[in-house]
Structures are given as C-alpha cells and as structure tokens.
Structure 1
Amino acid sequence: MEPKASTVILWTRLWWKGFEDRVMRTEDLGLKLGTRKETIVKTHLLSNRSGLIVWVLLLLAAPAMMGQDAKSLTILRWALGAPQIDPLLAQTSVAKEMGYFAEGGIDVEVTPLGGGGRSVPLVASGRSEIGYIGAETLILNASRGRDPGIILIFNQNRDPMFLWVVNPDSSIKNIQDVKGETIGTLSLAAAGTSYAKGVLMSLGIDPENDVEFVAVGTGPSSTALLQRGQIAVLVQSDTILAAMEQVGAEYRYLPETEYAESYFQGGLFVRRDYLKTNRTEVCAFVRGIAKGVEFTFENPEAAIRIHWKIYPESKPKGMSEAEALKFSLAVLRSRMYKWDPSDELVKKHGAYSHEEWMKIVELMGLGDQVTDQMVHSLYTNEVVDCANDFDLQEVREQARNYRLK
C-alpha cells in the first residue's frame, strides 16, 4: 500500500511539534509499508529539515523498493536427458552463479532423466518447460504423423555427442559391420538410441529388424556389459565415455559416417504454445545458456569450480582436488567444443540450418515422407537473435577475472 499524502502531512506535523525521543509506531498512524506491519521510528531522526526530507522521500520510494525486492524469479523446469548432472551442465551452473538467468527474471531447476525421449511427455504435459531431444525423434514422429506439440528452439550441440565404441580386440571395424549385432544404449528412450537408428537407416540397415537395442545404463554398467561380450557395440555419450576412460576403461572408436559429418544433435525444446506466451522467459533462458557457454570457453576451470559450488554432489569423490579437477575438465572438454558455432553454416549460438535438417531427412531415407514444410514445423530460429544479444567481451572479461566466492 502506498503512503497517502495525508500520511506524509501527518509526519510533517509531528516534526513541527518537535516530539523528542518518543517512539511511535507507524501502525498507530495507519501506515503500512508492504507486508511490514510495524516500524519503530524515533522522532529525533526528524529533528532537522534534512532528516525530514530524506524520510519523506524514503516513504514515497518504499513501495517501489519493496515491490522490487518481493518480485520472485520465474522458475523454468529443465527436464535434462542426461542421467546425471555432470560437467556438461557447467554452462548452466555458470549462468546461475553469474546472474545471467536472474538478469532475465528467471531461474532454472534441472532434473536429470536418463533419456531425452523421457523429457517429451513432461514438457508436452506442462510438467516441465524445457527439454532436450535429438533431431531423429522429431523427424521419425513427423514421418508417422505424430505431433507432440513441441518445437526445437536452440541448437546446443553442433556435432554428435553420441559415439560408437567396441572392445579394442573386436572384429567390428566400422558401423556397417554391426548388422545382426546387439547394440547397447543408455535407455531405449534415450536420444542416443534415436541417433543410432538414424545412422543405421542412412546405411540401409533396418534398426527395428537388423539389430537389437539393449538398455545398458551409464558408464560402469555399460562398459562391463561390453567387456563381457553381452553387447557387441556401445553407443554412449562423449562425456560418459570420457569419464570411464579417466578411470581406466579402454575402447576402440568406430569411424564416423557421412551421417555424423552432416549432423547436429537436436537441441533444447519447448511447447509451441509456451513459446508464444512466454517468449521473454525463453529468451532469458537461451541467452543465459549462450553467455554461460562463452564464459566456459574462456575459463573452463572456473566453470568446473562453479559447477561444483552449485551442485556439490557432482564433484568426484575419492580423489584429491587436483585429480578431481583434471577428471572433470577431461569430461567437459569432450563436449564443450561441440557448443562452438564459429565453424557452422550459421555462426550464432543456437541457430539451426534448414539445409542440415533436410540433409538428415535425406540420409535417413525419409525424404518422401517428411516434407520441407513439415521440417519447418520442427524447429525455429525465433529466439536466436535474443540468445546472442549480449556483450561477448564483457562475458570473457568476467570469466578471466572470476574468483570463486
């Protein structure tokens, strides 16, 4: 409630009467500032004109000040496809710590799901605002006439984050050799499974009948199954493989195909109707991510330490500080170069190239089923300009000068 003119006049009269050292309660005067019901004021603060002027100005400014303090951030819930909050999320931690999200009026809550496909029903039903999914999932849905009402808004990973590995002594030399084999992925709903199916389709291998997909979980369990020969091939994220190699696992990487060379790894998505009604919040989110990425490029060690601060449980256990930092940096560096748009067709954070989309559709052999118009409905570059609307040099300087608080 704003102080009325009559209230200010009453304070002025009190000053003229010169009450000394008497404690007055604003509640007695009918004055309430925001939710603060009682304010004790000593009249000696009003014993000169300067004091009175300052006090009156504070009274008049109080509603705006309190309204600003009381304003809460809008929470955006991110249904993360990854199985855990590992260093790949460092840019998000940076955006939280440096206030990049807050300056846009938002905060972000992250929930790891263990599969990008699991984020679709959460976002589609309104239980989360943000999700991450591979392009293949949307392309396959379009080919089958399915529309979950979501749209990709930010091209986060510019190269495939899923890699094909086998045991060092495996007879499998390339992906063409996997026909008839068992392929392990994080889960059958994971983006990695959809990616693997797209690769196989591009090679003329039927992913439904020519191979068998098995859910193998994350690093230790999936590596154990591969080593025991219970799966012939493992398709796993770069960060999980990097983490396992840091603790002694050995793999042989299968050569990439034309599909991988033409590929971008899907991206962040929202509901179409949410984008229409909450564009400001979506812009704040993608701008925060882009700024966090640039900070991480400039100072990856600081990004890791910030990540540990925001998510203490993500810090590796059972090793020294130096070993934990080395481990986490190796995991982060296995992914972070894929965030860099500088060598892409569209050199902006988050931007999609329609040419790349159509190339993937063609390689998947779905050109007759998924039209150009259908592809346009799967993604948008609407928030790309606002994602890149920040002072790059300022962010880099913040990264160089950052000291953990």
Structure 2
Amino acid sequence: MTKFSLSGGMSRRTFLQVSAAGVITATALGGIGRASAAPYPKFTWISPRGTLEVLDDYPYWIGKKMGYFDGLEVATDMQPGPSDGTATVKFVDVGQADMGFPSPGVFSFALENGMKLKSAFHMGALDTFSLAFRKGEGSNDLKKLEGKTILLGSAAWQPIVDPMLAVHGVDISKVKYVEAGWPTWGTALASGQGDAALAWEGLRAEWIGSKLDFEYWLGVQHSPLFANTFVVRAADLDDPDKKAFLDKYLRGWAMGLEFAYHNPLAAVEAVFEQFPTLATNIGPELGATSILQQIAVFRGDMSKRKGWGDHDLAAWQTFFDKIYELKQITKPVKAEDVVTNDVIGPANDFDHDKVKADAAAYVLSDAFKAINIEDVKAHLYDQAIPADR
C-alpha cells in the first residue's frame, strides 16, 4: 500500500489503487477550446463524479426535454470530467469549463488555492452525504469512528468528511481514510475493507441496484451542513453579458427542479432516455427512490429560501468558520465574498404555474405508471441505522 499526501489536508490516507485520472490535465475534457465569441462560445458544465450516467443532474435533462433552456442547450455542454473530485473547480478556474458542481469542502479547497470562484446557485440545501456501513456494524454515534477507517472513491473527498465528523464531536486526527477508487469504493466496503464508506443521497438507490446492501448514517437526517453547489469564475458574474447568460441558464435548471418536484417520475424517465444503460441497471422503482432522495436535498426548507439555488449565508459562514477551525483552510473566509444570491431572483423568475401544469400533463410510460410513488416515499429512509444504535 502506497503512502501519499496532498495539500489541503489529505495526509491521513492510503491508496488501494490509483485511478487513471489521478493526474488532471486541461485535455481531459477533450480539448475544449475558448474562442473569442461572447459571452460563451460553448458553455461547459463539469461534473465532480467522472460520469454523467447518474440521476443527480435530472433538472438539466428534464429541463432540456421540456425546452426550459430556451435554446441555450445548443450552446451548452455537459461533461463528466475526471473522477478526481477537485477537477470540477480546477477546470473552471483555468477556463476549460465554465461551471462546476463541487462539494463545499472541494469549493473551500479551490478558495484555499487562490482560485477566483464564486458559488452562484446552491443546489444542495441539505446535507446529501452519508456514511455506509455493513449491515449491523453502523452506529448513530459517529465518535465510534475514531480509530476506524473510512473508504473514499477519491482522495479529494476527505474535506467532505472531516467537517461532517467534526461537527459531531469526532477527533478527526484519529480517523484513517483509504482511497479505494471510483467506482469501486462501495464494493471495497462490501468485501470487508474499511469500516465505513462515504455515500450520498441518490447513490444509495444506485448501490441497491448494484447489489450493495448497506445501512446508513444519513446526513440529510442528522447533519447541520449542506451539499454541493454550482460555482463559476467570479469575473463572469461581473460581466453583464455573461451574467445575463447565467441568469437564463440557471433559470432552466430551476424550472427543471420545479418540474421534478411536481412529477419526479417524469424526470427519472428523461434521464433514462438520455442514459439507457443507467435505466437497465437500476430500473424505474430504484430510479424513483434515487430522485426522491435528491429532491429532498435540493429543495430543503423552501419556506426559508428565496427560491431554488438560494444560499443561506449564515449557514455558509458557519461552515467556513468550522473548516478554518479544523485548519482545512489557512485563512478565514467571509461567505459574502465567495457566495452570491445575485442570480437567484432571475433564475426563479418563471411561470411556476405553467411548469406545474407541464408536470401534471406529462404522460408517463407504462413502466413508470406502474410505480406507486407514495409507497416509494414511505420507504425512502428504510436503510437508516436504527435509532437505538
């Protein structure tokens, strides 16, 4: 096993394997160029996962299908990116992509390393992240992870887990991380390696489809933190033409989120049409489970939000203060300097009643008509560790 260390607090870990995407280069997105056209010659959104064949990006696919991007989809590109979680900010910083979807921890890594990025649209209002355990081995007391090993798909995920543990009183210096590789870290846990593994909402359902049957400590139930956000170059928000593009582009995402809230099965169907292999692997029922998990995270408490993507600046400040305390960053960060709600008003400026009507009028295929969505909702958190453990 190879000992390895990186900047950004990545010293307490070991490798099971090193992925081919371990070295991030600007050619990994197929050599996307930047011509001199305005505002964007081709607007590129980059995933943090190394794949697009997941349900996580459902607002884009249903929005595209329903025409909510108002023609912008012809000028946009969705890219999976390398599986290294930090690539989603690195590529935006150097201009090889225009919007990334990092976790808050990876966003803080970008800020620590001088990347001039801002969070423009907060997708994950609640904490999507969870910890998977083999059946019967989990505990709701995370302090029991001291002295134990947590498996990660990428070393870049450690800044996700450290604050999640720290806010629950865990001495993170006593936790060991093992990079088990994407997409094999879940399989590594099932085979007896490590004591727990990082997971997230939506992935839980996909793992069931892959015969990975775990129990979970669920951040969406227990964590005061939150999940991934859309980041852009700060300078783009200061450019009137690019800001106008971002307003319109993120309106498409917001409309997709609104549609899926009213008709989640239609959104799953749109993703399955885009990725037939994913449809084969998980099927309609697990697809419904996955999207409902994610809708809960993306929506949060709408009575306290000013629309889809709204940032809670106080919560963000608490997050930055906590990771500064953990020495995950070496300089204090003011949330108002790196998080903005300037796009939220324009992004949510659409006919909500029309989108609701679109969702109600959508005709599902027979396979999706057969799904009892209320029954799926009733069993959404059956994999949670029992409260008495």
TM category (shorter chain) comes to 0.7 to 0.9
**1:44 aligns to what?**
none
What is the identity, as a one-letter code, of the residue corresponding to 2:95?
G
Is residue 353 of structure 1 aligned with residue 308 of structure 2?
Answer: no
2:127/2:219 contact within 8 Å kept: no
Is residue 289 of structure 1 aligned with residue 253 of structure 2?
Answer: yes
Which of 377, 381, 389 lines up with 2:349 in the alignment? 389
**1:194 aligns to what?**
159
Identity %: 19
Query: Structure 1's 244 and 104: CA in aligned 2 closer, same or farther, altered over 3 A?
Result: closer
Alpha-carbon distance in structure 1 between the residues aligned to 2:303 and 2:148: 34
1:299/1:400 contact within 8 Å kept: yes
Is residue 324 of structure 1 aligned with residue 283 of structure 2?
Answer: yes
Moved more, 279-288 or 325-334: 325-334
Measure how far apart 1:204 and its partner are.
Answer: 5.0
Alpha-carbon distance in structure 2 between the residues aligned to 1:307 and 1:211: 37
Note the alpha carbon deviations across 1:325-346, whole angstroms, 9 max, x for none.
1222222122112121544532
Query: Structure 1's 178 and 356: CA in aligned 2 closer, same or farther, altered over 3 A?
Result: same
Query: Structure 1's 363 and 179: CA in aligned 2 closer, same or farther, altered over 3 A?
Result: same
**1:398 aligns to what?**
358
Is residue 152 of structure 1 aligned with residue 119 of structure 2?
Answer: yes
1:87/1:328 contact within 8 Å kept: yes
Kindly indicate whether structure 1 or structure 2 has the higher relative contact order, using CA contacts under 8 Å at least 6 residues apart: 2
Measure how far apart 1:367 and its partner are.
Answer: 9.3
Is residue 262 of structure 1 aligned with residue 227 of structure 2?
Answer: no
1:119/1:131 contact within 8 Å kept: yes
Alpha-carbon distance in structure 1 between the residues aligned to 2:321 and 2:91: 30
Unaligned stretches of 5+ residues in structure 1: 1-71, 318-322
**2:207 aligns to what?**
244
Equivalent position SS for 2:174? coil
Note the alpha carbon deviations across 1:119-163, whole angstroms, 9 max, x for none.
111100100011011222344565x5x320111000101111110
Alpha-carbon distance in structure 1 between the residues aligned to 2:208 and 2:357: 33
Alpha-carbon distance in structure 2 between the residues aligned to 1:75 and 1:196: 34
Note the alpha carbon deviations across 1:171-229, whole angstroms, 9 max, x for none.
65521111122111221124xx322011233345454x42222222456x323321232
**1:10 aligns to what?**
none
Equivalent position SS for 2:101? strand
Moved more, 118-127 or 327-336: 327-336
Note the alpha carbon deviations across 1:212-255, whole angstroms, 9 max, x for none.
22222456x32332123211111112222221124543222236
CA RMSD for the aligned pairs?
3.0
**1:95 aligns to what?**
63
Alpha-carbon distance in structure 2 between the residues aligned to 1:204 and 1:291: 39
Structure of greater Rg: 1
Which of 219, 237, 258 lines up with 1:275 in the alignment? 237
**1:366 aligns to what?**
325
Query: Structure 1's 73 and 255: CA in aligned 2 closer, same or farther, altered over 3 A?
Result: closer
2:54/2:278 contact within 8 Å kept: yes
Query: Structure 1's 282 and 354: CA in aligned 2 closer, same or farther, altered over 3 A?
Result: same
Query: Structure 1's 333 and 367: CA in aligned 2 closer, same or farther, altered over 3 A?
Result: same
Moved more, 95-104 or 382-391: 95-104
2:92/2:232 contact within 8 Å kept: yes
Alpha-carbon distance in structure 2 between the residues aligned to 1:99 and 1:255: 35
Alpha-carbon distance in structure 1 between the residues aligned to 2:41 and 2:354: 25
Alpha-carbon distance in structure 1 between the residues aligned to 2:125 and 2:227: 6
Measure how far apart 1:90 and its partner are.
Answer: 1.6
Query: Structure 1's 274 and 79: CA in aligned 2 closer, same or farther, altered over 3 A?
Result: same
TM-score by length of 1: 0.71
**2:80 aligns to what?**
112
Alpha-carbon distance in structure 2 between the residues aligned to 1:206 and 1:120: 28
Alpha-carbon distance in structure 2 between the residues aligned to 1:182 and 1:270: 34
Which of 250, 264, 267 lines up with 1:303 in the alignment? 267
Query: Structure 1's 227 and 392: CA in aligned 2 closer, same or farther, altered over 3 A?
Result: same
**2:141 aligns to what?**
174
What is the identity, as a one-letter code, of the residue corresponding to 1:213?
Y
Query: Structure 1's 179 and 213: CA in aligned 2 closer, same or farther, altered over 3 A?
Result: same
Equivalent position SS for 1:169? coil
Equivalent position SS for 2:159? helix
Q: How many residue pairs align between the two structures?
A: 322
TM-score by length of 2: 0.74
Equivalent position SS for 1:389? coil
Alpha-carbon distance in structure 1 between the residues aligned to 2:218 and 2:357: 39
The 5 Å alignment of 1:23-42 reads none
Alpha-carbon distance in structure 1 between the residues aligned to 2:153 and 2:270: 27
The 5 Å alignment of 1:61-80 reads 75-80=42-47
